[in-house]
Amino acid sequence: MRRKVLGIAALSLLSVAAPYADEVRGPFAVRESDEGVLLLEGKTRVLFYQRKPKSLAGEFERAHYIHPLYGLDGEILTEDFPRDHLHHRGVFWTWHQVSVGGKKIGDPWMAQDFRWEVREAKTFPVDAGSIGLKTVVLWKSPQWVDPKGAQKPLVEETTRIRVHRAAERTRKIDFEITLAALEDDLRIGGSEDDKGYGGFSPRIWLPADVRCTGRGGVVKPEVTAVQAGPWLDVSGSLGGAGRTSGVAILTHPSLPVFPPPWILRDRASMQNAVYPGRAPVSLPRGKPLVLRYRLVVHRGDAAAAGIDRLQAEYETEALPRYGAAP
């Protein structure tokens, strides 16, 4: 029943979000609407980028995230507005603490007193085997305004999402998130408790047989952050009974902390590659922060998908040159 409800929700979203004809780019197709951008490989849905602000009866308004994220067999891997944490949303990257000159500015993790103004969301070719989606987003808050009361941007975020063609058992999706401060003495940080969660966080739906795996084997989620190595995999019957599939989060060695600590959950929550943790870090003007991650959606479990090998490849491959990306 739960998978049926999720499927109906996704179809409802797509019926609203897809009034325009597909634009074909090699093996990929792009379907744009006022709501956002749907990327497909052929006729297979890959992901939907939520551009337009979305709320639940006016609360928890959010934009600029991925949902649904689809598995290789069309299964919906992510959740939006889950009952246990209504502020969670698909694949998202945000923080509890944002401050300027020591003044706290909203709470983007909770989607409170904060907004993401998406200035552009455009697809562009990368190479014959992948397609890119570039977004430019201004972080704003009603708690940070000019003398006339207009909201002033705090950060200009440029994110490039690169979708690779599917292999037999896997598909790679890259995220390069660049944060450029627009105010002096701007800081970001995770939750202020001992969990310290914040940063890149997929909200994957978690079946009863879900299993978290890292480089050293099965990882048991704890209340606080755990060490699991440079990658973390979540696998189980995400595609329904008898069909094991999963999502792996790979982290890049260019991260300020590598490998990162992990906040993990095996029910009713998200998975988080923690950065920077409880203590905020400065984002100096003129020195953008770049964070890189790769998702691997796959059939079978982490071993069958070769996640450790894929992590090794990710660590050594050259960074993409996006050329004249819009």
Residue-wise pLDDT for 230-276, tens only, equals: 999 999 999 887 889 999 999 999 999 999 999 999 999 999 999 99
Distance CA 64, CA 51 (A): 5
Distance CA 40, CA 218 (A): 32
**Global pTM value:** 0.93
Task: Average the pLDDT over 277-290 and give the result.
Answer: 98
Angstrom distances, CA of residue 292 to CA of 121, 181, 225: 19, 18, 20
Task: Average the pLDDT over 48-69 and give the result.
Answer: 98
Instruction: Give the residues across from 183 on adjacent strands.
Output: none
- pLDDT value for 238: 94
The residue among 241 and 29 whose pLDDT is bigger is 29
- pLDDT value for 239: 83
- pLDDT value for 15: 38
What are the phi and psi torsion angles at 43 (to 5°)? -105, 5
Task: Average the pLDDT over 134-147 and give the result.
Answer: 98
Q: Which of 3-17, 31-45, 74-88, 284-298 has the lowest mean pLDDT?
A: 3-17
Distance CA 230, CA 307 (A): 11
Query: Could you tell me the two tokens for 290?
Result: 């770049």
Instruction: Give the residues across from 24 on adjacent strands.
Output: 29
CA dihedral 170, 295, 123, 48 (to 10 degrees): 90
Query: Could you tell me the pLDDT band of residue 8, with boundaries at 50, 70 and 90?
Result: very low
- pLDDT value for 80: 98
Task: Average the pLDDT over 44-65 and give the result.
Answer: 98
Residue 7 has pLDDT above 80, yes or no: no
Q: Are 269 and 204 in contact (CB under 8 A)?
A: no
Residue whose entry in the numeric block shows the structure tokens 């998130």: 177
Task: Average the pLDDT over 147-172 and give the result.
Answer: 97
Task: Average the pLDDT over 175-201 and give the result.
Answer: 98
User: What distance separates the 2 farthest-apart alpha carbons in the chain?
Assistant: 60
Residue spans per domain, the chain: 2-316
Task: Average the pLDDT over 197-222 and give the result.
Answer: 97
- pLDDT value for 320: 86
Q: How far is CA 85 from the centre of its chain?
A: 16
Q: Are 245 and 301 in contact (CB under 8 A)?
A: no
Distance CA 79, CA 88 (A): 8
Residue 228 has pLDDT above 80, yes or no: yes
231: enclosing H helix or E strand: strand 231-236
Distance CA 320, CA 255 (A): 16
CB crowding 127-163: b at 16 or more within 10 Å, else e: eeebbbbbbbbbbbbebbeeeeeebebbbbbbbbbbb
16: enclosing H helix or E strand: helix 2-17
Q: Are 173 and 164 in contact (CB under 8 A)?
A: yes
Q: Are 195 and 211 in contact (CB under 8 A)?
A: no
2-316: CATH topology is Beta-galactosidase; Chain A, domain 5 (2.70.98)
Residue 5 has pLDDT above 50, yes or no: no
- pLDDT value for 22: 87
Angstrom distances, CA of residue 320 to CA of 2, 175, 302: 39, 11, 25
Average pLDDT, whole number, for the chain?
Answer: 93
The residue among 5 and 181 whose pLDDT is bigger is 181
Percentage above 90 pLDDT, the chain: 88
Percentage above 70 pLDDT, the chain: 92
- Closest residue by Cα to residue 176 from 324, 291, 27, 9: 291
Query: Could you tell me the two tokens for 247?
Result: 């999502």
CA dihedral 236, 271, 233, 89 (to 10 degrees): 70
Indicate if the alpha-carbon torsion angle 267, 273, 279, 280 is positive or negative: negative
Residue 13 has pLDDT above 50, yes or no: no
Query: Could you tell me the two tokens for 128?
Result: 């014959």
Residue 326 has pLDDT above 90, yes or no: no
Residue 10 has pLDDT above 70, yes or no: no
Q: Tell me which DSSP letter residue 246 carries.
A: E
Query: Could you tell me the two tokens for 100?
Result: 């300027």
Task: Average the pLDDT over 15-28 and give the result.
Answer: 71
